[in-house]
Amino acid sequence: MEKIALLTDSACDIDDETVKKYNIEILPFRIIYKHREYIDKLQITPKEVYDNMKVEIPKSSLPSIDDMENVFNKLENENYTHIIAVTISSGLSGTYNALKMVSGRHEKLSTYVYDSKSTSLGEGIILKECGKLIDRGKSFKEIVHCIPEIKKRMHFFFVFGTLEYARKGGRIGAISGIIGEALDIKPIVYFDDNQGICFTCGKVRGRKRSLNKMIDIGREFLSKSPCDVYIAHGNAREDAESICRRISILPNVKNTYMIGQISPIVGVYSGPGTVGICYMEIESS
Integer angstrom CA distances of residue 56 from 93, 165, 168, 270? 21, 11, 12, 14
Could you tell me if 208 and 200 are in contact, meaning their C-beta atoms sit under 8 angstroms apart?
Answer: no
- Left (φ > 0), alpha (ψ -120 to 50) or beta: where does 23 sit? left
Residue where one domain finishes, among candidates 126, 152, 178:
152
- Is residue 35 in some structural domain? no
Residues 261, 148 within the same domain: no
Whether pLDDT at 181 is above 60: no
pLDDT tens column, 66-89: 999 999 999 999 999 999 999 999
Q: Which residues pair with 231 in a beta bridge?
A: 258, 277
pLDDT tens column, 25-56: 999 999 999 999 999 989 998 889 999 988 99
pLDDT tens column, 190-235: 999 988 988 888 888 899 999 999 999 999 999 999 999 999 999 9
Residues 162, 145 within the same domain: no
d(CA 258, CA 20): 17
d(CA 20, CA 193): 29
Q: What is the pLDDT of residue 266?
A: 85
Residues 276, 170 within the same domain: yes
Residues 231, 128 within the same domain: no
Number of H helices, E strands in the chain: 10, 13
Could you tell me if 22 and 127 are in contact, meaning their C-beta atoms sit under 8 angstroms apart?
Answer: yes
